[in-house]
């Protein structure tokens, strides 16, 4: 058994701090009922807080907070007098062709919140909902309407309608929780805030349980100290899900698009063993090109040894984002004096991206050429041409997801140049 003297004083302090964090991060009701991130459950809580007659006793204070913040993103939205509200409903089926997540009605006005926790905004749905609202004006049923989008912080709604983020909701709740009349309702509200913080805000990446497993797991095993050895798996799946939704929304990716994205790019579900996210088009795959987000255990765990061909990687806990351009094993034995065909193919792609101004942007995003990271006498990486290594725990205030997202965004900017490169190579 490893003696405790093999842990430094700093490591012992950090392990104790991490254990304290794992025990103080309380389980929420959303976790118990398996509704973490569930859109309809969060919508029901939001409906309660937006109801001036709700048991919280805040009248329309929270609702007006939401209207004020949303109004700052586009054009101002008139506040509402709680006494004028006739009803606040969730999942209204008044429109024949769609559903309204939250509908607030007065005698002359309708306010609708379209809510997303994990899934993407669907513009056809938005069009159907706003058509319904406009028809109510045309029928003289109301004088005006407001339509507000509520999404995660990492989603850009790309819409002309006002929008809110879940961080806005969390800030509003934080200012009001102490004013709630009932102690039980205050507990409910704090529980909801913890669920929002854990499951919906952009800051959630790899938590203290994951850090214990990834950085200190081997030592804790030898000391016989219990910990959750699979905590990082849930955090990894959560990161991949968020990345998928961001891709779908930001680049309007869908199975019906004409761009030819592969099914793995649009991955519908992630399993426990999902440790690589692959982004590619069918034509790219034929050429051996794709983008990859590598989050395998051996890369996430600090101090893991890598195969010599992957010796360019740090041994710190990391996620790697790469431009993968596979070449044959023989092609890895390239040299400046005698370049192989695979190395020449990569050079042509690099020259194309450099000519189109992308290499400078990729460097700014932290990418490096793997060949420059390897000793001169070592073979080229067979798989990865560019690499961006993202530390899991040392982000200088920037979350892992945000760093991965920004790296992927830099790669996605190259897609038209890669399309043209592949077209040229096909006829070469």
H/E element, 105: strand 100-106
Give me 63's structure tokens: 């609702």
pLDDT in tens, 268-299: 788 888 999 999 999 999 899 999 999 998 88
> With contact defined as beta carbons under 8 Å apart, do 64 and 77 qualify?
no
Is the pLDDT at 21 greater than 80, yes or no? no
The lowest-confidence range among 144-148, 154-158, 353-357 is 154-158
The angle subtended at Cα 150 by Cα 147 and Cα 152, nearest 5°, is: 160
> CA-CA distance, 72 to 155, in Å (whole number)?
17
Q: Which range has the top average pLDDT, 6-10, 254-258, 339-343?
A: 339-343
Tell which residue, 198, 221, 239, 152, has the closest CA to residue 21: 198
SS3 for 268? coil
How much of the chain exceeds pLDDT 90, in percent?
Answer: 52
The lowest-confidence range among 67-71, 249-253, 413-417 is 249-253
Comparing 308 with 92, which gets the higher pLDDT?
Answer: 92
Tell me what pLDDT residue 25 has.
61
SS3 for 360? helix
> CA-CA distance, 224 to 376, in Å (whole number)?
44
> CA-CA distance, 95 to 133, in Å (whole number)?
9
Average of per-residue pLDDT across 24-45: 81
Q: Where are the domains of the chain?
A: 35-199, 230-426
> CA-CA distance, 408 to 250, in Å (whole number)?
11
Residue found under tokens 């891709």: 247
Tell me what pLDDT residue 37 has.
78
Confidence of residue 3 (pLDDT cuts 50, 70, 90): very low
Confidence of residue 328 (pLDDT cuts 50, 70, 90): very high
pLDDT in tens, 191-240: 999 888 877 875 557 888 888 888 888 888 888 888 888 888 988 988 89
Tell me what pLDDT residue 376 has.
79
> CA-CA distance, 105 to 157, in Å (whole number)?
24
Tell me what pLDDT residue 336 has.
85
Is the pLDDT at 321 greater than 90, yes or no? yes
Q: How many residues does the chain have?
A: 428
- Residue 411 pairs in a beta bridge with none
- Please give the order of strands across the beta sheet that includes 318-325: 276-279, 289-294, 318-325, 384-391, 368-369
Tell which residue, 234, 206, 249, has the closest CA to residue 118: 249
The angle subtended at Cα 154 by Cα 63 and Cα 95, nearest 5°, is: 50
> With contact defined as beta carbons under 8 Å apart, do 207 and 231 qualify?
yes
Comparing 263 with 90, which gets the higher pLDDT?
Answer: 90
H/E element, 144: strand 144-151
Is the pLDDT at 307 greater than 70, yes or no? no
Residue found under tokens 């799946």: 237
pLDDT in tens, 50-72: 999 999 999 999 999 999 999 88
Look up residue 177 and give its DSSP letter. G
Q: What is the pTM of this model?
A: 0.71
Is the pLDDT at 4 greater than 60, yes or no? no
pLDDT in tens, 341-350: 999 999 999 9
Confidence of residue 2 (pLDDT cuts 50, 70, 90): very low
Q: Tell me the average pLDDT of the chain.
A: 87
> CA-CA distance, 123 to 44, in Å (whole number)?
23
> CA-CA distance, 61 to 51, in Å (whole number)?
10
Tell me what pLDDT residue 327 has.
95
Q: What is the sign, positive or negative, of the torsion defined by CA atoms of 253, 255, 261, 267? A: positive
The lowest-confidence range among 133-142, 151-160, 321-330 is 151-160
What's the number of CA atoms in the CB half-sphere (13 Å) around residue 146?
25
Is the pLDDT at 121 greater than 50, yes or no? yes
Confidence of residue 421 (pLDDT cuts 50, 70, 90): very high
Is the pLDDT at 319 greater than 80, yes or no? yes
Give me 335's structure tokens: 């040299």
Is the pLDDT at 176 greater than 90, yes or no? yes
> CA-CA distance, 378 to 113, in Å (whole number)?
57
The angle subtended at Cα 186 by Cα 181 and Cα 188, nearest 5°, is: 135
Confidence of residue 413 (pLDDT cuts 50, 70, 90): very high
Confidence of residue 1 (pLDDT cuts 50, 70, 90): very low
């Amino acid at each position: 058994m490893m003696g405790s003297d093999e842990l430094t004083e700093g490591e012992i302090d950090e392990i104790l701090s991490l254990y304290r964090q794992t025990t103080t991060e309380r389980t929420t009701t959303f976790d118990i009922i398996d509704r973490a991130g569930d859109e309809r459950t969060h919508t029901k809580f939001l409906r309660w807080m937006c109801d001036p007659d709700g048991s919280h006793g805040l009248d329309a204070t929270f609702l007006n907070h939401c209207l004020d913040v949303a109004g700052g993103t586009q054009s101002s939205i008139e506040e509402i007098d709680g006494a004028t509200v006739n009803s606040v409903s969730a999942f209204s089926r008044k429109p024949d062709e769609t559903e309204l997540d939250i509908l607030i009605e007065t005698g002359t006005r309708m306010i609708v919140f379209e809510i997303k926790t994990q899934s993407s905004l669907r513009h056809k749905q938005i069009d159907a909902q706003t058509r319904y609202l406009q028809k109510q004006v045309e029928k003289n049923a109301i004088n005006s309407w407001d339509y507000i989008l509520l999404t995660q912080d990492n989603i850009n709604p790309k819409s002309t309608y006002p929008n809110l983020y879940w961080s806005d909701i969390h800030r509003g709740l934080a200012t009001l929780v102490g004013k709630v009349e009932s102690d039980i309702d205050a507990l409910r509200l704090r529980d909801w805030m913890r669920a929002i913080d854990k499951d919906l805000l952009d800051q959630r990446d790899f938590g203290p349980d994951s850090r214990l497993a990834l950085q200190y797991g081997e030592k804790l095993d030898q000391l016989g100290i219990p910990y959750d050895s699979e905590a990082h798996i849930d955090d990894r799946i959560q990161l991949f899900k968020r990345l998928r939704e961001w891709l779908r929304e930001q680049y309007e990716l869908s199975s019906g698009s004409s761009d030819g994205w592969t099914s793995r790019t649009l991955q519908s579900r992630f399993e426990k063993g999902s440790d690589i996210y692959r982004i590619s088009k069918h034509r790219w795959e034929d050429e051996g090109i794709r983008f990859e987000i590598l989050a395998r255990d051996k890369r996430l765990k600090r101090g893991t040894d890598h195969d010599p061909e992957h010796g360019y990687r740090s041994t710190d806990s990391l996620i790697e984002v790469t431009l993968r351009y596979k070449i044959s094993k023989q092609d890895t034995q390239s040299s400046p004096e005698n370049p192989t065909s695979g190395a020449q193919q990569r050079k042509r792609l690099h020259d194309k991206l450099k000519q189109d101004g992308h290499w400078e942007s990729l460097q700014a995003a932290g990418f490096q050429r793997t060949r420059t990271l390897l000793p001169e006498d070592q073979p080229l990486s067979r798989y990865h041409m560019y690499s961006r290594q993202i530390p899991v725990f040392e982000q200088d205030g920037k979350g892992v997801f945000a760093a991965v997202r920004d790296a992927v965004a830099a790669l996605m900017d190259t897609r038209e140049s890669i399309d043209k490169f592949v077209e040229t190579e096909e006829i070469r």
